[in-house]
Amino acid sequence: MIINDLAINEHESDGQPGPSAQPYLGNPGLYIDWRITNNDLDIGPDFEPILLANKDSVVQDVKHMIRESGLLWRCIAERDGVKVKALLDRLVLLIEEDIRLVPGTITVERSDTQTFFILGDTVDYGKFGFPASILPGLL
């Protein structure tokens, strides 16, 4: 979800539109989304959906993109190193299509047969990194 209301996205100091370093409460920033945990909507103690803002929202979208592409499953199943490299290159290109990310900063590093680390840089919120795996709870 993108918030286009300039009044919501103003910097407190200069009144100009743009991202805010504040957490969601009080100033949602540019991107907000519902938090998804274990393939389900995460509900707070007040029975309302928990929201993610800014970098957390972007990273969650990247995780979902990776899972929906199916490329990690294919990397784990593939034994040929050249084909694995080609699949990882495809994954990097897919992730870099997101306009909220800085092209050329995305890397996918394999730590073992089932775990990968995705690192990159967002346009507005700085660097991010997270593990990705076919193991439950890691993507």
Quote the pTM value: 0.72
The torsion of the CA quartet 94, 95, 100, 102, rounded to 10 degrees, works out to: -100
pLDDT band (50, 70, 90) for residue 110: confident
Domain spans in the chain, listed from the N-terminal domain onward: 54-133
For residue 46, what are the CA distances in angstroms to 4, 42, 49, 53, 73? 27, 11, 9, 19, 37
Give yes or no for residue 116 having a pLDDT over 80: yes
Q: How high is the pLDDT of residue 139?
A: 53
pLDDT band (50, 70, 90) for residue 138: low
What would you report as the CA-atom Rg of the chain, rounded to the nearest whole angstrom?
Answer: 17
* Span of 87-91, 93-97, 129-133 with lowest mean pLDDT: 129-133
Q: Report the alpha-carbon distance of residue 116 to residue 96 in Å, rounded.
A: 17
Whether residue 63 contacts residue 69, with contact meaning beta carbons closer than 8 Å, is answered with no
